[in-house]
Amino acid sequence: MTYSTLLTALDNGILTITINRPDKMNALNKDVFTDLNNIITEIESNEAVKSVIITGAGSKAFVAGADISEFETLDKNDAIALAVRGQDIFARIENCPKPIVAAVNGFALGGGCELAMACHFRLASDNAKFGQPEVNLGLIPGYGGTQRLVHLIGKGKATELLISAQLIDANEAKQLGLVNYVTTPETLLEETRKILDIINTKAPLAIAGCIKAVNSVYNETVDGYEVEISEFGNAFATHDMKEGTTAFLEKRKPKFTGG
Ligand code: COA
């Protein structure tokens, strides 16, 4: 499948998705959302894709937010529909059974910060800047930012950032737990791939079980401990669990097949 706003490269099981509107700071317009929605379907179904990196084209921005030029003609109901669509697509990223990691290579503002937060975890280059500057526009975040920022950095700091529109740099983002690692711009993708190369050697269904159980912490409609019990049980019914435990006992490396 081809995507008008995304560049894609599949290498050794890692699909790198580059949001490609560098002249507009990779802002999320309707076309980007359509492409993101379609590529998640492809990620879910393509067995060659084991894990995913999302990054931005150019050296300045990961994603500088929703495309503000599309806001001019929206009324209240249009805005609600836009937020529902954005939240649905970002929830598909968060709930994807394959790891999706944000490699934040510059500004991650508004919807860009929300996209990064929907990913399973984040690395950032040392020139990255994070923030939810919507109040500068008389707006609030609409793609899950008020919720995921609180989950990731806590209520007090999240509220400060949301209502002050202050940006934070990559090192502060790391101190707050918003990103796991800070790299140079030149090594960002390489360092992200190194982590995914390790993850890609693990059992895919066990990875999916971890993602589901972790996400259930933030889902008030389910009991996360019950999800963990259920996923633990499911793991025992997999070929990969038999392979992993047998390989350990035989003192060899496991060969996981995803079954
Ligand atoms: N939506 C639409 N266009 C955007 C955009 C956005 N969120 N962010 C940047 N752009 C466009 C600019 O309009 C400009 O387009 P132009 O060259 O046709 O005029 C281009 O991207 C470059 O941006 P510019 O502002 O000139 O770059 P800069 O280096 O001076 O500043 C930012 C970079 C990211 C600080 C600044 O663009 C910005 O504040 N963007 C908006 C961030 C925001 O409020 N996001 C939340 C949206 S809800």
**Mean pLDDT of successive 10-residue stretches along the chain, which has 259 residues:** 95 98 98 98 97 98 98 97 98 98 98 98 98 98 98 98 98 98 98 98 98 96 97 97 97 96
Q: Which protein residue's CA is at the shortest distance from atom 2 of ligand 1? A: 67
Q: Is 71:138 a contact under the CB 8 Å cutoff? A: no
Kindly state if the Cβ of 107 falls inside 6 Å of ligand 1.
Answer: yes
Question: What's the pLDDT at 23?
Answer: 97
Does ligand 1 lie within 6 Å of residue 141's CB atom? no
- Name, in order, each residue with C-beta under 8 angstroms of 188's C-beta and a sequence gap of 6 or more: 55, 103, 104, 105, 123, 124, 125
CB 114 within 8 Å of CB 139: no
Counting atoms of ligand 1 from 1, which one is nearest the CA of 139? 48
- Token pair 């990969």 in the structure block, residue: 240
pLDDT at 80: 98
Question: What pLDDT is attached to residue 236?
Answer: 97
Mean pLDDT, the chain, whole residue set: 98
- How do 51-56 and 6-11 pair as beta strands? unpaired
Give dist(CA 83, CA 154) in Å, integer.
23
Full-model pTM: 0.98
Quote the pLDDT of residue 1.
Answer: 79
The partner residues of 11 in beta bridges, in order of sequence, read: 14
